[in-house]
Amino acid sequence: MVSQVFDCPFVPSHAAWRAEYGETQGLCASVGSAAPVALDFWQDWRRHPREPFMSVADAAIARVHAGLDRLEIEVPSWGFADTGTRFGKFMQDAAALTLEDKLDDAAEVHRVTGCCPSVAVHVLWDFEDLSNPAPSAALAADRGLRIGSINPNVFQDQCYRLGSVANPDASVRRRAIEHLLHSVEIGRAVGSDLLSLWFADGTNYPGQGHLRRRKRWFEEALREVHDAMPASMTMLVEYKPFEPAFYHTDIADWGMAAAFARAAGPQAKVLVDTGHHLPGQNIEHLVAFLMDEGMLGGFHFNDRHYADDDLTVGSIDPYRIFRILLEIVQAEHDLGGPLSVAYMIDQSHNLKPKIEAMIQTVDMVQSLMAKALLVDLAALDDARERGDVVDAERCLVDAFATDVRPILAGWRERRGLPVDPIADHRAHGHAERAAASRLPRKSSGGGSYA
């Protein structure tokens, strides 16, 4: 039930369809079927606009286009670099080595998608001179981008073997807090309004740590950092049930993250990474709960099959991401305006080409957002009020089954963007030029686990 008159994507009524194409081409029995015919209809209508084209269909298309106009997705700098697993590191000729390389790749993603103007940075991986980060903002601006969320790193140095702000050694805790405070200042210098915090702190064995004491150390640290932030900055507190810690993690789930954010102060919110949940977790439920509590700050989009797999969005379960986005759409509809939610990607690909994987994820998020915006919320509420479980579910299933590629094509053409972002990227030759420039600068053919 995409709308009360949608039997086909972009076909507003049986009468309009018959008037244009007659009976021989068939009518869609449900949304999402006969997509090629619907695409032909849309392309022909776009070339030769004519009536009747029902206002409900126009309104649905306009609603999707407006939603896509507002959608901005931040890409991660580390997603363009050579990465691996704990078993090995697999190199790609075109993978980025420097922040300039990463910004070039991010600009290519933004060029073909039109919705990725900001780049998340990792403090220790991206800033060569931590005492003078401002030039990085200029490098981004030169490419039509801006520096996005600032991601401190309190997990890779040897002193953090037993934790950072929950380390039993007070001097290590202080060092971690000072790094977080410095990250706030880096954010000021580059014009970022997001401080994104993920901690690896946890324990591997029963008895290793004093759990309540560690909790209090976290509260104290986050409160100090929060109080040092400018009024324009938001602290995002991320959670993860396990890895690298395997007995307990200090911020293990969304409830803990919300409690820590509340303890930190009013500018702290929860960051939901879609891969950071135990099997069976109803993510859209917790998203709805956090929104209603005013505690949802943003997303790290990825997909997973087992754990924190960092796969491209929609590669495993696109319906789950659709349901999450639908909760956002419903909340914004109820509020009468957009929510302040940061949409970000956190992926690191070892097999897919880096830029293509990023484009694929952005394209999928755009597609799933379009589907969520097609849900007939009035019909959904009516079905709920009537207690009609089947019709309520059909509202979601019908929208999800809609082939939204014609809608995206129309939106992209209106914005002067390529209709097929990956095909355009491949034809543009960016990856080949990047490989030619970067491969001679690479000093290793790979990396081993030990």
**377-436 pLDDT per residue, tens:** 999 999 999 999 999 999 999 999 999 999 999 999 999 999 999 999 999 999 999 999
Any idea what DSSP says for residue 78?
G
| Band of pLDDT at residue 20, cut at 50, 70 and 90 | very low
CA triplet 329, 330, 333: central angle to 5 degrees?
85
pLDDT in tens, 335-376: 999 999 999 999 988 899 999 999 999 999 999 999 999 999
358 three-class SS: helix
Cα–Cα distance for residue pair 165/148, rounded to 1 Å: 24
- Helix and strand tally (H, E) in the chain? 17, 13
Beta strands 146-151; 447-448: pairing state:
unpaired
Q: How many angstroms separate the most distant Cα atoms in the chain?
A: 78
pLDDT in tens, 131-180: 999 999 999 999 999 999 999 999 999 999 999 999 999 999 999 999 99
More confident residue, 2 or 103: 103
pLDDT at 17: 35
More confident residue, 44 or 405: 405
Provide the CA 173 distance to its chain's centre, in angstroms: 31
pLDDT at 6 over 60: no
106 three-class SS: helix
| Band of pLDDT at residue 7, cut at 50, 70 and 90 | very low
331 three-class SS: helix
Closest CA to 112 of 431, 437, 435, 436: 431
pLDDT in tens, 202-254: 999 999 999 999 999 999 999 999 999 999 999 999 999 999 999 999 999 99
Any idea what DSSP says for residue 8?
B
pLDDT in tens, 60-111: 999 999 999 999 999 999 999 998 877 888 899 999 999 999 999 999 999 9
Question: Which residues does 319 contact at the CB level (< 8 Å), separation at least 6?
Answer: 400
| Band of pLDDT at residue 444, cut at 50, 70 and 90 | low
Taken as a whole, the chain contains a residue count of 450
Torsion of CA 431, 436, 438, 444, to 10 degrees: 110
Cα–Cα distance for residue pair 296/305, rounded to 1 Å: 24
pLDDT in tens, 317-339: 999 999 999 999 999 999 999 99
Cα–Cα distance for residue pair 309/290, rounded to 1 Å: 24
Cα–Cα distance for residue pair 65/374, rounded to 1 Å: 11
> Would you say 368 and 396 are in contact if contact means Cβ atoms under 8 Å apart?
no
> Would you say 382 and 368 are in contact if contact means Cβ atoms under 8 Å apart?
no
| Band of pLDDT at residue 56, cut at 50, 70 and 90 | low
Handedness of CA 256, 262, 264, 270 (dihedral sign): positive
pLDDT at 301: 97
For the ranges 119-128, 308-317, 330-339, 439-448, which has the lowest average pLDDT?
A: 439-448
User: Tokens 């709920």 belong to which residue?
Assistant: 384
Phi, psi of 268 (to 5 degrees): -105, 135
Cα–Cα distance for residue pair 228/319, rounded to 1 Å: 40
| Band of pLDDT at residue 309, cut at 50, 70 and 90 | confident
Q: What is the pTM of this model?
A: 0.88
Question: Which residues does 302 contact at the CB level (< 8 Å), separation at least 6?
Answer: 273, 274, 275, 309, 310, 311, 312, 313, 345, 346, 347, 361
Q: What is the DSSP string of 226-247?
A: HHHS-TT-EEEEE--SSSS-SS
pLDDT at 84: 80
